[in-house]
Amino acid sequence: MPKKYLYVSLIAVFVISLLSACGGNQTHQQEPEQASNGTEGDGVSGEITVAGWNLAADAMVETAEKFMEKYPDANIKVEYVTSDYDSIIPPLTAGRGAPDVIQIQQRDFPNFLEVFPNQFVDITDRLDGRENEFAEVAMNLAQQDGRVYALPWDLGPAAVYYRKDFFENAGIDAESITTWDKFIEAGKKIQEANEGVKMLALGYSSNDVAELYRILMNQLGAQYYDEEGNIQFVSEENIKAIEMYKKIVDEGIVMDAPTWDDRIRAFVNNQVAAVIYPVWYAGTIKTQAPDQEGLWGLMPLPAFEEGGPNQAHSGGSVLAISTQSENEELAWKFIEFALMTEEGQDIQMKYGLFPSWQPYYETEQFKVIDEYFGIALSDFFGQLSTDIPPLDYGAHFMDINNAIIDALGAVMLDNENIEDALRRAEQRAARDTGLNIAE
C-alpha cells in the first residue's frame, strides 16, 4: 500500500507517547444507510472507527458504505491517519484512545505484537480454520505463537510501470529490457529522446531510500538475519543489491524525489518514464493522473542476469482489532466483510489492492480488463507472484530498517564502501534490538 516510512526505535515509541497526542487526523464519518432491499441487521450494531491511510482509507470509506447498507444499525467511521503511525503509537502505548480497527503494514505487524503485547485481539477462533484461505507469505506475518491477530489485506508483487509514449519516442521495446543493465541503457536513450524526462524518480536522499533496495534484495533472496536469527546484513546478495541500486543512481537516470508526494508529482507532470512499485501503485497512477489513461504499460522487473530471478514483494497491510475496542464483534464483522467476501474484495480491487484472500482469485471480477492500463492487472501480477522469495522481517524490523537506511544513505550520498556501511549498520541494529551479529 501507498506509504511514507518513518520507522522508530523502541525508545522512540515511548518518547512519542509522552510528547504526542492523538488527534488532528481527518475523519470521514459515514452516516448509516437503511438497506435498500430490506436486509436485516443480523444483530450487528453500534459504532467503530477504522484507521488507514491514502487509497487504503479511500477503499475503507466505500467498504463502510456497503457494509452499512447490509447492517443498517452499524455506523463505521473511517479515520485518515499517516503511515508513520504517529497517531497510532501513542494510544497503543497509553492503553487508551486507539481506533477499533487499525491498518498496519505486514512487515511492521510482528514488531507491533512485540512492542504492544495484549493490544490486539486474537481472532484465531473467529477464523475457525479459514486462515489457510490467505496467501502464506502474508498470513505468516499476522501470527504469533500459532495464534492469528490480524487479517492480511493485500499483497505487493512488484513490476515496472512505464510510459509507452516515452519508450516509443526512443525506439525502445519494453520486452527487450530483461536485465537491470539493459534498463539503465534504455533509460539513457529515453532521456535523450524526451526532453525534461528522467527514467526514474527515487527518494534516495530521504528515509525512503530503502524502497528500491527492498525490492532488489528480495528479488535476489537476500535476508536480514541468518538461519539462527542473528543479524546478517553483510552477504553476497545484499551487497549485490546495493551495488545495482547505486549503479542505477550513478548512471544518471534518476531524479531525486525525497517524499511520496514528490514522486507522485514526477509522473503526474510527465517527468519520468518508469515507476518501480508493487501492484497497489496502479491505483495511485489511475487516481492521480486520470488524463494519462492508455499511456502506461507494465513489464516484469528486470533480472540481475539473463534468466535470473525477477520477482519481488513490497508492501501489503493487515487489519487488526484493538483490544481497546468496545465493540469487537462489529469490528470483526467489518474486516470479515471487507477481506473475506467477494463484495468486499470487489471494492479493494477497484482501488488497486491485490487480495491476500485467495478464493477471490477464482472470481470473474479478478480477471476483468483494466481500462486504464488495457490489461487484466490481476492476471499480470498473479504471474509475478509465483516464485517470490520469502523474506523474514522479524519482530524488530523498525530498528533493522533504521540501520539499513543509515547505511544506504552513506553509500548513496557519501560514497562509503558498501561492506563497511553494512557492518556499521549491523552494529547499530544489534545495539537497538539486543540481537547478536552473525559470525
Q: CB within 8 A of 102, min separation 6: which ones?
A: 51, 88, 319, 320, 321, 322
Phi, psi of 275 (to 5 degrees): -140, 130
Backbone φ/ψ region at 129: left (φ over 0), alpha (ψ -120 to 50), beta: left
Q: Outline where 251-358 has alpha helix (H).
A: 260-268, 281-288, 328-340, 342-350
Which cell is 328 given?
469487537
**Residue linked to cell 444507510:** 33
Q: How far apart are the C-alpha atoms of 251 and 311, rounded to whole Å?
A: 24
**Residue linked to cell 477499533:** 100
Instruction: Identify the three-state secondary structure at position 370.
Output: strand
Q: According to CATH, what is the number of the domain 158-312+396-433?
A: 3.40.190.10
Give the strand order in the sheet containing 74-80: 26-29, 74-80, 46-52, 101-105, 317-321, 151-152
**Segments of the chain scoring below 70 in pLDDT:** 1-43
- 337 closest CA partner among 363, 308, 307, 357: 357
Residue 85 CA from chain centroid, whole number = 14
DSSP per position, 200-246: EEE-TTSGGGHHHHHHHHHHTT--SB-TTS-B---SHHHHHHHHHHH
DSSP β-ladder status, 101-105 and 151-152: unpaired
Contact 43, 71 (CB under 8 A): no
Q: How far apart are the C-alpha atoms of 127 and 139, rounded to whole Å?
A: 12
Q: How far apart are the C-alpha atoms of 2 and 64, rounded to whole Å?
A: 20
* H or E stretch at 167: helix 164-169
The single-letter DSSP state of residue 357 is B
Q: How far apart are the C-alpha atoms of 226 and 162, rounded to whole Å?
A: 36
The single-letter DSSP state of residue 385 is S
**Residue linked to cell 443498517:** 72
Rounded to 10 deg, the angle between the 54-70 and 281-288 helix axes is: 90
Strand segments (E) across 2-89: 26-29, 46-52, 74-80
pTM, full prediction: 0.76
**Around Cβ 4, how many Cβ atoms within 10 Å?**
19
Q: CB within 8 A of 193, min separation 6: which ones?
A: 166, 169, 170, 171
Start and end residues for every CATH 3.40.190.10 domain found in the chain: 10-155+315-383, 158-312+396-433
DSSP bridge pairs for 274: 162
Amino acid identity at 203 = G
Give the CATH architecture of domain 10-155+315-383. Answer: 3-Layer(aba) Sandwich (3.40)
Distinct helix (H) and strand (E) counts, the chain = 17, 13
Residue 33: its pLDDT value, please?
Answer: 38
Residue 391: its pLDDT value, please?
Answer: 84
Amino acid identity at 110 = P
Q: How far apart are the C-alpha atoms of 311 and 123, rounded to whole Å?
A: 31
Contact 309, 221 (CB under 8 A): yes
Residue 35: its pLDDT value, please?
Answer: 36
Phi, psi of 321 (to 5 degrees): -100, 130
The single-letter DSSP state of residue 325 is -
Instruction: Identify the three-state secondary structure at position 312.
Output: coil
Contact 358, 135 (CB under 8 A): yes
Alpha carbon separation from 312 to 1, 386, 401, 402 (Å, rounded): 15, 10, 18, 21
Rounded to 10 deg, the angle between the 328-340 and 54-70 helix axes is: 110
Q: Tens digit of pLDDT for each residue in 221-258?
A: 999 999 999 999 999 999 999 999 999 999 999 999 99
